[in-house]
Amino acid sequence: MGLIPSNVRLGHKIEHIFLKLIQHSRQYKIIAYNIPIRKEKVTLGEIDFLLQDIDSHKFTHVELTYKFYVISEEATNIEHRLIGPNQRDSFKAKKERMINHQIPLLKTPEAISVLQGFNIKPSELLHQVCFKSQLFIPFMAHNLDLAPFNANCISGRWIPFQKFKSPLFLEHQYYFPSKQEWLLDPHQGVNWLSHNDVLELISAGLEIKNSPLLWMKSSDFTFEKLFVVWW
């Protein structure tokens, strides 16, 4: 499939993975990707991917997004409970931006001009969102109903820092993955730290409201992803 760049932001790595998957697809071919839409040197936005179905020849605009959300216990509507671990973004806000900005962007004169350059009629263009996510449930949650979201997206749990300092977590070992490793499942071949050591490492980040993702290894060698949140 080719090498995935290691020196790029996580979002760009996701785009590269998607690009390679489509390039090896028997259903679609890529017309263009990461296409800026500009008006008088001002960038209005960007089209993530323009694809064409090989059989039907229909064109599809795909917006790609990959998010890490913790599931808040405060709201009742599940759509409102998916928030970023630093409380800086949410599923609801992202959905509204897709509906109110990203898709309407392709109806602007500037975008229509770009599409016509690819011999695409805007009225015949399909719009789709590829929304991938890793979801983290409250640490003590049981029988959590995520419908209509995909329960297979549950990747771990989250816990407030004050509770993480409790003796319950003292005997486990921890690894502090880089942002690039957030996509991965925890595995044995890393340098594990004690609870005390990891507390020192994450305290500075929590002071500036950055909630770290940890890998946690129990005494029975089971692994788990765990967000420790500052709030």
pLDDT in tens, 103-126: 899 999 999 999 999 999 999 999
Across the chain, what does the average pLDDT equal?
93
Handedness of CA 80, 225, 160, 85 (dihedral sign): negative
Options 1.10.8, 3.40.1350, 1.20.120, 3.40.50; CATH of 10-133: 3.40.1350
**Termini Cα distance of the chain:** 41
Q: Is the confidence at residue 9, as pLDDT, over 90?
A: no
**pLDDT above 70 coverage of the chain, percent:** 97
Give the three-class secondary structure for 92: helix
pLDDT of 98: 93
Which tens digits make up the pLDDT trace of 61-99? 999 999 999 999 887 889 999 999 999 999 999 999 999
Residue 172, phi then psi, degrees to nearest 5: -80, 165
* Domain ranges (residues) in the chain: 10-133, 150-229
pLDDT of 93: 96
Residue that the structure tokens 């609870």 belong to: 195
Handedness of CA 97, 77, 138, 203 (dihedral sign): positive
Alpha carbons 103 and 109: distance in angstroms, whole number = 13
Dihedral (Cα; 204, 206, 207, 208), 10-degree rounding: 100
> Omega of the bond prior to 148 within 30 degrees of 0, cis?
yes
Q: CB–CB of 14/64 below 8 Å?
A: yes
Q: CB–CB of 12/182 below 8 Å?
A: no
| Tokens (6 digits) for 199 | 């507390």
| Tokens (6 digits) for 200 | 């020192």
pLDDT tier, 130 (very low <50, low <70, confident <90, very high otherwise): very high
